[in-house]
Structure 1
Amino acid sequence: MSLDQLSKDLIKLANSINNGKDSKEFLKKSGNKLKNKTLNIAKSRVNEDTGNYIKSIKRGKVYNFDGNLSVRTYSGAPHAHLIEYGHIKKDRSGREHGFQKGSHVFTSAQKEFEDEFYNDTQNFIDELIMKNGFK
């Protein structure tokens, strides 16, 4: 294989990683894993009676962020930021009754998922290289 052919193959591989269907599918699967990890942490840390907070945790679509493909996990609940970061407890008259500490569900899930995502990414790149003829 000539050096010119190798460079063309590497460019082809780079284009398939950035814009290809394989990359989007990989990010969707990784987003689902992060969502499931977030749900497990939320169920163990949050005492939510109605369950609307748990139901509102979702995986977003794969999108382009600063030239890179990205995916996020989020909560659509209007009170999610209060559960995540904490808040001052007040009664109806406005008197304060202490501070409710945050559960930090999303930040904990992110930290726990980093190593797993790194390993999954390495495996994905290895499979992509093997699939495109590099050995």
Structure 2
Amino acid sequence: MKRAQQGFTLIELVMVIVILGVLAAVALPKFVDLKGDAVQAATDGTAGALSSATAINYARRSINSANGVAITTAAGCTSAVVGPLLEGGLSSQYSTSGTAPNCTLSNSDSSPAKTASFSAPVIN
């Protein structure tokens, strides 16, 4: 009794490898810029935290002018003013710019730098 051979032919194996290669070539670009997306998400999160911190500062300073930090139009968006409002301060990779109440946060951890906007209400 002769037994039938089992297994795949060389052509079948080559075709499977080609199909996997095509699928990898199509799917790979979708996952290449994950670091850029992560840096942008971190920048957006930090900008949101700064916006919340400046709103809390505004409320504290409205109740008692001895509390909180004065945010003026000219200096309101500098890292020296808004950075200390965050617990632990503002990380060195971030810089702020703009004129209060419209501020911009830049993250130099990627090239080009990722940016996000936040609000810093003016209060003396």
TM-score normalised per structure 2: 0.31
Indicate the structure whose relative CO is greater, using CA pairs within 8 Å and at least 6 residues apart.
2
- Please identify which structure carries the higher helix content: 1
TM-score normalised per structure 1: 0.29
> Which structure would you say has the larger Rg?
2
